[in-house]
Amino acid sequence: MDTYEAETVETKWQQYWDENATNVTDLSRSGDKFYNLMMFPYPSAEGLHIGNIYAFTGADIQGRYRRLAGHNVFQPIGFDAFGINAENFAIKSGSHPAFQIPANIENFRRQLKSMGIMYDWSRAVDTTQPDYYRWTQWIFVKFFEQGLVEHREAPVNWCPVDKTVLSNEQVIDGMCERCGTQVELRLLKQWFFKITDFAERLLDNVEQDDFDWSPSTKLIQKNWIGRSEGAEVTFDIKGTERSISVFTTRPDTLFGVTFMVLAPENPAVAEITSDAQRAAVEAYVNETQQQDLNSRRRAEQGDKSGVATGGFAVHPITGEDIPIYVADYVMMDYGSGAVMGVAAHDTRDFEFAQRHGLPIVPVIECGEDPSRTSGDMAEAYTDKAEADRLINSGACDGLSIPDAMAAVTKTLANKGAGSTQTTYRLHDWCVSRQRYWGPPIPIIHCDTCGPQPVPEADLPVLLPELEDFRPSDDGTSPLSKVDDFVNVPCPKCGNPAKRETDVSDTFLDSAWYFLRYPSVGTDGAPFDPQVTKDWLPVDMYIGGQEHAVLHLLYSRFVTMALSDMGYLGIEEPFKSFRRHGMIVRDGQKMSKSKGNVVGPDEYVAKYGCDVIRCYLMFMGPFTEGGDFRDSGIAGIVRFLRRLWTQVTESGAAPSDPDALDDIDAREYNATVKKVGEDLANLQYNTAIARLMEFSNHVRGRQRNYTMDEAKAVCVMLAPFTPHLAEEMWQALGQSQSVFVEGRWPAHDDTKLHAETVVVPVQVNGKRRGELSLPKGASQDAAHEAAIADETVSRALDGKEIRRVIYVPDRILNLVI
């Protein structure tokens, strides 16, 4: 029994699990449920890479651990198979996503199975299947009915090569994330989900103490939602009936306003612009339209270009004329797309004023440091400004900043020219794509009735099979070419109408898949009410930090909105979220271009997946990541081999538990405690290290494991190396799977601090053995134990002991 054939053993147990439905969860038992979720993959043609494997293995270890600890664990998997990646790949390789994707999924399935992950395959989802996207469309319809969907023209990032709209996150340094082409700004009619209606709740929930997510992920979400408290100030426009509102976090600086700036897209620009300035303004606006939205964002730091409109605003308190500019450092999609320029106290305004020769009027005198008069004020305010006082501010002179904020806001409110306001950075979610490979948006446009949702009974709107699925140059969707898809009667009035031809964003598919898993097979609804009530929220969600905002935020939003509609009993979908780390290879980032991407297949073939799983988890803390080095694998191979021998030998001839001492007891109990705690905290590397130490300890004592120890080692190892653990478990004479029969061992806290110490024994100054002695044992007790010890007594050779030198707990020297 000493050779261990990984390939044979792993295949054997994978078959066993399949045949015995070991990993199929009984969802009717939910009292001790643990819904263990991992971010489902996009099934690429390349197959899984080691980064996926790393994430899935770490999540699997969590699931397997919870199961052994007594939970009924549900661990599903699926495929996020719609979207532009699949489509682009098909375009490039001359195939069709409808053929390509099922093949990719098959390959992923094979690879995931070869990694021995405990998936409940009976509940896999594939977002491209009509029985899934029927409900994605249902969600669109429900949101539409609730007024959470809007169809409106919006500036969007447009990639002229991929011919699609890109989110800001998909634009890197002004270039398309996928193809590297310079992105443009376009105005298109798009479908938006009004996630901004939920900004406040989405943020408030994150701030709750019991929101158990990785701190870094929480912070990213908070910043993304971006709450800002301030005021809205309304300025009348000279010589017109209209007015323009600005959002400011510093109403106290109102008397320092010397100009106003509008975003180039602000619809008021055209109206305000004087005839003399019209040509210059139009040229400037056109120029800024060439940039993508991110570059626009960077204009905040940039050169502060801009043009005067020739129009003037009226200061709401002093009545002075204020010139109005248009400049790209002001964003249309934040606040109201207009700012009041306070050159003396806002860095951006300061730079703009300098460049365009505008007056700089300080309105705050800095108490501690009078030189602090310009741009740095905004940041400096919070911590240093206690002593700061207003100047040049009429009735507000002498007030502190907080008092001035209150006073100005009140004065404005009395005049009907302002009020306190909270603004969020979060934008509405653009869910429409002018592409093919996605769920058709379930809307029918009728000239008489306007956009109508497809009746629920008519869902799904099937994605038509389309030979030429490529996007077209003018931004119209591929589906618009399919006449019998497009032309349908209006569901309300029956007159000829036209289907929407955009498809929805892949992020909508993934914003609710965790709701579907427990209800896979439910036909009449997206999720069965009882099962959903029993199984949600997800107990542990593990995924990459790259999804910290989009996916995780959209999922929270969709859950919250569905919950408001009464479909779910929960507002937040994920009780705990942990981000996993990233792995690099030989110290370098893995990338296709470097050719250093590791695929699992060759490694599994060479070492078996248990070794790879264990190695990946041993590289470093799971939440931090690590460096994958081929040379590092050998150490794990040695450890597992030794453990196999140790456990199987122990199975044949276990040590007698009565022969163990306090130190053995301490080592065992400390191991059980540490490994359990580490697993619960995703500290997998230190858990493995502890198992290694325990193995070394037992070897050092030149004994085998006791039967209880051997079984406990099996169970503790099982999350990491499930096949090896199964095989050991069987070798120990057990008849069922360790995941069915095995129970997480208990530990005894009272044994954690061994009352014994190991004291070396010297005879005439030469080390001859060691004794386990009660801590602080007396010299007599030590002396007696030494004589009783076989090795020591052999060294004494029956001679008389002339002198005893004893340092308690440290050393015993016998002089003969």
Q: Which positions lie near ligand ANZ, rule CB under 6 A?
A: 228, 247-250, 253, 263, 330-331, 334-335, 337, 339-340, 342, 345-346, 377-378, 423
Return the SS3 of 471: coil
600 contacts which partner out of ligand ANZ, Zn ion, none, CB within 5 to 8 A by kind?
A: none
Min dist CB 254 to ligand ANZ, Å, is 8
Contact 719, 65 (CB under 8 A): yes
Tell me the Ramachandran region of residue 521: left when phi exceeds 0, alpha when psi lies from -120 to 50, beta otherwise: left
Contact 570, 29 (CB under 8 A): no
Stretch that binds Zn ion, among 65-73, 488-496, 699-707, 726-734 (CB under 5 A): 488-496
- CA angle 108/112/117 to nearest 5° reads 160
> Cα(15)–Cα(240) distance, rounded to whole angstroms?
79
Size of the residue set binding Zn ion (CB under 5 A): 6
- CA angle 86/92/98 to nearest 5° reads 40
Q: Is 448 one of the binding residues for Zn ion (CB under 5 A)?
A: yes
Min dist CB 446 to Zn ion, Å, is 3
Contact 345, 250 (CB under 8 A): yes
Contact 128, 90 (CB under 8 A): no
* Nearest CB to ligand ANZ, comparing residues 248 and 695: 248
Min dist CB 554 to ligand ANZ, Å, is 23
Interior/surface letters 474-508, b for 16+ CB within 10 angstroms, e for the rest: eeebbbbeeeebbebebeeeeeebbbbbbbbbbbb
> Cα(24)–Cα(1) distance, rounded to whole angstroms?
31
331 contacts which partner out of Zn ion, ligand ANZ, none, CB within 5 to 8 A by kind?
A: ligand ANZ
In terms of C-beta density within 10 A (0-12 exposed, 13-18 middle, 19 or more buried), how is residue 73 classed? buried
* Nearest CB to ligand ANZ, comparing residues 122 and 301: 301
490 contacts which partner out of ligand ANZ, Zn ion, none, CB within 5 to 8 A by kind?
A: Zn ion
> Cα(342)–Cα(353) distance, rounded to whole angstroms?
9
248 contacts which partner out of Zn ion, ligand ANZ, none, CB within 5 to 8 A by kind?
A: ligand ANZ
* Nearest CB to ligand ANZ, comparing residues 202 and 558: 202
Contact 742, 760 (CB under 8 A): no
Q: To which residue do tokens 């078959």 refer?
A: 15
User: Segment 749-808, which members bind Zn ion (CB under 5 A)?
Assistant: none
Closest CA to 57 of 719, 573, 804: 719
Min dist CB 250 to ligand ANZ, Å, is 4
Stretch that binds Zn ion, among 114-122, 181-189, 344-352, 442-450 (CB under 5 A): 442-450
Min dist CB 456 to Zn ion, Å, is 18
788 contacts which partner out of ligand ANZ, Zn ion, none, CB within 5 to 8 A by kind?
A: none
Q: What are phi and psi of 193, to 5 degrees?
A: -95, 135
Q: Is 490 one of the binding residues for Zn ion (CB under 5 A)?
A: yes
- CA angle 293/298/302 to nearest 5° reads 135
Min dist CB 259 to ligand ANZ, Å, is 11
807 contacts which partner out of Zn ion, ligand ANZ, none, CB within 5 to 8 A by kind?
A: none
Q: Is 175 one of the binding residues for Zn ion (CB under 5 A)?
A: no
297 contacts which partner out of Zn ion, ligand ANZ, none, CB within 5 to 8 A by kind?
A: none
Closest CA to 607 of 652, 645, 638: 638
Min dist CB 410 to ligand ANZ, Å, is 18
Contact 224, 239 (CB under 8 A): no
Cβ neighbours for 49, distance < 8 A, ≥ 6 positions apart:
590, 597, 598, 599, 600
* Nearest CB to ligand ANZ, comparing residues 272 and 331: 331
Min dist CB 503 to ligand ANZ, Å, is 31
* Nearest CB to ligand ANZ, comparing residues 354 and 563: 354
253 contacts which partner out of ligand ANZ, Zn ion, none, CB within 5 to 8 A by kind?
A: ligand ANZ
Min dist CB 495 to Zn ion, Å, is 5
* Nearest CB to ligand ANZ, comparing residues 327 and 486: 327
First to last CA, the chain: 48
Closest CA to 709 of 645, 664, 739: 664
330 contacts which partner out of Zn ion, ligand ANZ, none, CB within 5 to 8 A by kind?
A: ligand ANZ
Stretch that binds Zn ion, among 66-74, 311-319, 493-501, 626-634 (CB under 5 A): 493-501
> Cα(749)–Cα(526) distance, rounded to whole angstroms?
47
* Nearest CB to ligand ANZ, comparing residues 378 and 680: 378
Min dist CB 490 to ligand ANZ, Å, is 39
Q: Which H, E and C letters describe 365-382, residue by residue? A: ECCCCCCCCCCCHHHHHH
Largest CA distance in the chain: 119
* Nearest CB to Zn ion, comparing residues 125 and 490: 490
Q: Is 444 one of the binding residues for Zn ion (CB under 5 A)?
A: no
342 contacts which partner out of Zn ion, ligand ANZ, none, CB within 5 to 8 A by kind?
A: ligand ANZ
User: Segment 549-608, which members bind Zn ion (CB under 5 A)?
Assistant: none
* Nearest CB to Zn ion, comparing residues 493 and 801: 493
Min dist CB 487 to Zn ion, Å, is 13
339 contacts which partner out of ligand ANZ, Zn ion, none, CB within 5 to 8 A by kind?
A: ligand ANZ
Closest CA to 691 of 666, 709, 717, 662: 717
Min dist CB 575 to ligand ANZ, Å, is 31
Q: Residue 600: is the preceding peptide bond cis (ω within 30°)?
A: no
334 contacts which partner out of Zn ion, ligand ANZ, none, CB within 5 to 8 A by kind?
A: ligand ANZ
Instruction: Give the one residue of 172, 493, 634, 659 binding Zn ion; rule: CB under 5 A.
Output: 493
Q: To which residue do tokens 């002089």 refer?
A: 815
* Nearest CB to Zn ion, comparing residues 218 and 445: 445
Closest CA to 142 of 572, 569, 565: 565
322 contacts which partner out of ligand ANZ, Zn ion, none, CB within 5 to 8 A by kind?
A: none
151 contacts which partner out of Zn ion, ligand ANZ, none, CB within 5 to 8 A by kind?
A: none
Min dist CB 68 to ligand ANZ, Å, is 49
* Nearest CB to ligand ANZ, comparing residues 315 and 345: 345
> Cα(364)–Cα(774) distance, rounded to whole angstroms?
74
Min dist CB 494 to Zn ion, Å, is 7
> Cα(37)–Cα(537) distance, rounded to whole angstroms?
10
Return the SS3 of 289: helix
* Nearest CB to ligand ANZ, comparing residues 263 and 317: 263
> Cα(132)–Cα(127) distance, rounded to whole angstroms?
6
Q: In what order do the strands lie in the sheet with 487-489?
A: 450-453, 443-446, 496-499, 487-489
Q: Is 449 one of the binding residues for Zn ion (CB under 5 A)?
A: yes
Q: Is 446 one of the binding residues for Zn ion (CB under 5 A)?
A: yes
> Cα(231)–Cα(404) distance, rounded to whole angstroms?
12
228 contacts which partner out of Zn ion, ligand ANZ, none, CB within 5 to 8 A by kind?
A: ligand ANZ
Min dist CB 486 to Zn ion, Å, is 15
Task: Residue 404: count other Cβ atoms within 10 Å of its Cβ.
Answer: 25
Contact 723, 13 (CB under 8 A): yes
Q: What are phi and psi of 582, to 5 degrees?
A: -110, 150
Min dist CB 262 to ligand ANZ, Å, is 9
Min dist CB 352 to ligand ANZ, Å, is 11
492 contacts which partner out of ligand ANZ, Zn ion, none, CB within 5 to 8 A by kind?
A: Zn ion
* Nearest CB to ligand ANZ, comparing residues 192 and 329: 329
Contact 697, 772 (CB under 8 A): no
Contact residues toward Zn ion (CB under 5 A) are 446, 448-449, 490, 492-493
